[in-house]
Amino acid sequence: MPVFDLAVTPLRELNQALHAVPAGANDTAFEVLNPRGGHAIAVGIDGPLSVEVKGSVGYYCGGMNDGGTVTVEGSAGPGVAENMMSGTVVIEGDASQYAGATGQGGLLVIKGNAASRCGISMKGIDIVVRGSIGHMSAFMAQSGNLVVLGDAGDALGDSLYEARLFVRGSVKSLGADCIEKEMRPEHLDILAGLLAKAGIEDVRPEEFRRYGSARRLYTFNIDNADAY
């Protein structure tokens, strides 16, 4: 297993090594020591690599991930897994603002809390937060699933499109065009699958409520034609 100690090795060398792994290579597991809150650690992975980061990270860790598995044994700064395409990013601690922003696929698991704007403009990513999330989460979320075992802050799902939001705790307030929706059997199945993928076995899908778009904000209504 290649080991990179960022106390002595420049971050650029780590990311270059991750990008240089050829397809079909056997040595695909990396360990990162002393991340010391560094920014852009393990960004742009484009293959089935495994990266274990032994400590907390700064901005954009795991950004643009496409197929890799990144595990952070600590907390993460803003923009973790930003624009992720596929693969898995796991944060053992807390995550700062806009975790999973614009993510188009893959799974982001946050075992602590996530700050404001979690899942902003998500486009297919699945996000599971063991704790609570801050205000304006899932703003303009287009598709994918956001699962929150704790509470949600103000303006959840503001200007939401077709993403599904599942919250086990309380919601401080809903954003524009976001409403509580019926939890049908197919949604319980989706939620059960996401909880299993995230390794969560101590809660049941029936404990959650579902929120989604009322589909009024972005749908043309002939009764309002004079306003255009």
Per-residue pLDDT of the chain (228 residues; tens, 9 = 90+): 899 999 999 999 999 999 999 888 888 999 999 999 999 999 999 999 999 999 999 999 999 999 999 999 999 999 999 999 999 999 999 999 999 999 999 999 999 999 999 999 999 999 999 999 999 999 999 999 999 999 999 999 999 999 999 999 999 999 999 999 999 999 999 999 999 999 999 999 999 999 999 998 877 666 766 665
CATH code linked to domain 3-216: 2.160.20.60
> Helix/strand/coil (H, E, C) string of 132-191?
CECCCCCCCCCEEEEEECCCECCCECCCCCCCEEEECCCECCECCCEEEECCCHHHHHHH
Is residue 157 a contact partner of residue 174, using CB atoms and an 8 Å limit? Answer: yes
pTM: 0.95
**Predicted local distance difference test score (pLDDT) of residue 193:** 98
